[in-house]
Structure 1
Amino acid sequence: MSRYPAPDINDLPDDIKARVLEVQEKAGFVPNVFLALARRPAEWRAFFAYHDALMTPETVGRTSGLTKGEREMIVTATSAANQCLYCVVAHGAILRIYEKKPLVADQVAVNHRKADISPRQRAMLDFAMKVCQQSHAIEDADIDALHAHGFTDEDAWDIAAITAFFGLSNRMASFSGMMPNPEFYLMGRQPKPR
C-alpha cells in the first residue's frame, strides 16, 4: 500500500476508527488514504477536517457554488498535473460517479481543454491549473474570467483552496508510495444495473 505500514484498524483511536468503518460501509472498502494517514492521528484529524470543509461544505454549514462533480474535476485535473497516481485514480472514480460520465475523468486528467465539459467548467479548470502551476502569477484578470462564467469571489476561493489542499495531499501520497485501491479503477465506468 505504501512505504509506511498502515496501522491496524483495531488499534486506531475510537473517532478515527468510527470514520474509517463508516467509509468502509458506504464504499464497500477502505480507501488506502484513510489508513495511511491514520499513523499520525492528530494530522489525520486536521487533514480530514479541512478535506470535509472543502469537499462537503454543507457538513460545516457552508454553501458552495461548485457542484460535487466540479470539486472532483479540480482534484483530478490538478492531481494529474502533480503526477499523483493515487488522487487521479481515486478522485477520478468519484468524478465519474458524480458526473455520470464514464470518460470524463480520463479526459480531465489528460487535457481538460479537450474534455467533454462545459465552458464554465473549462474556465474553472483553467484557473485551478494556474493556481496549481503558477499561483504567484494569479491576477485580477484571472478572477474576472471566472466572474464571466458566473463564479463568485467565494467560488474562486474554493477552487484555489481545493487546488492547494490537494497539492499537499498529492505530495504526501506520492512521497509515501500510496497506491490506489483496485476498486477505484472500475468505479463509474459502467452504468449500474437497474
Structure 2
Amino acid sequence: MNKPATPPPEPAVSRFPVPRLEDMPEDIRARITAVQEKSGFIPNVFLVLAHRPDEFRAFFAYHDALMDKPGNLTKAEREMIVVATSNANQCQYCVIAHGAILRIRAKDALIADQVAVNYRKADITPRQKAMLDFAMKVSATAHEVGDADFTALSAHGFTEDDIWDIAGISAFFGLSNRMANVTSMRPNPEFYAMGR
C-alpha cells in the first residue's frame, strides 16, 4: 500500500533568520501589524528586513518619503518605475509585489505585466515612457545622465523635483532589488492575484 505523498515544505521567505513577530521591537511590530490589518497578510519584505531593525526603520522611512509624497508623479507612475527597473534588475519579489500595487493603483489588470516585460510596448503615455526611459538609465547607467536627459523630461512637463523623484525611486529600488535577491526574498502568494 502506497503512502500518500508528503507535501513539500514551505520555502523559506529569506536565507537569513526571520524574527518572530513577538520578538520584534514594538515600533516595527506595530507597523507590521497595521500592514497586516490593511492588506490581510504580512508582505515578506517586512519580515525579512526586520532581521536588522535599524535598517528596517531607515529603509521604510526612505521608501515612504519617495512613494507616498504628493507631487506631479501619480502613485501608479511611481509603481511603474519600480516594476520596470525591478524587472531590469531581475528582482522577482519587487516585480510581483509592486506589480500588484501598480494594478490596483492604475485600476488596470494588464499594466503591470506590460510594464515589466517591455514598457516600450505597454499601453502607457509618451510622458510615462520618457519617465521610464530615464528611470532605466538611472538604474543601469547613471553615470551617463546629463543635460539632454533633463531637456527631454522637461519637454514632457517634468520639473526638477519630478526628475529627482524618478531618480530617487529608481536608485532606492536598486538597493531594494539587490537586497531582495541576496536574501532570496519570496513574493507572498497573495500578490499574484491582487488587482487582476
In the superposition, the TM-score normalised over structure 1's length comes to: 0.94
1:173 paired residue number? 180
- Separation in 2 of the partners of 1:185 and 1:99? 16
1:141-180 → structure 2 map (5 Å cutoff): 141-180=148-187
Name the count of aligned residue pairs: 184
- Partner deviation per Cα, 1:65-119 (whole Å, 9 max, x = no partner): 1100000000000000000000000000000000011111011011110001111
- Separation in 2 of the partners of 1:74 and 1:116? 15
Is it true that 1:130 corresponds to 2:133 in the alignment? Answer: no
Shift of 1:5: 2.4
Q: 2:42 aligns with which of 21, 30, 54?
A: 30
In the superposition, the TM-score normalised over structure 2's length comes to: 0.93
1:44 paired residue number? 56
2:26 paired residue number? 14
Tell me the amino acid that sits aligned with residue 112 of structure 2.
A
Shift of 1:2: 1.3
2:102 paired residue number? 95
- Separation in 2 of the partners of 1:145 and 1:187? 34
1:66-105 → structure 2 map (5 Å cutoff): 66-105=73-112
Q: 2:113 aligns with which of 106, 118, 125?
A: 106
State which structure, 1 or 2, has the greater radius of gyration over its C-alpha atoms.
2
Q: Which runs of 4+ in 1 moved over 3 A?
A: none
2:6 paired residue number? none
Q: CA RMSD in A?
A: 0.6
- Separation in 2 of the partners of 1:105 and 1:147? 26
Question: What are the ranges of 5 or more consecutive residues in structure 2 without an aligned counterpart?
Answer: 1-12
Secondary structure of the corresponding residue to residue 50 of structure 2? helix
Tell me the amino acid that sits aligned with residue 159 of structure 1.
I
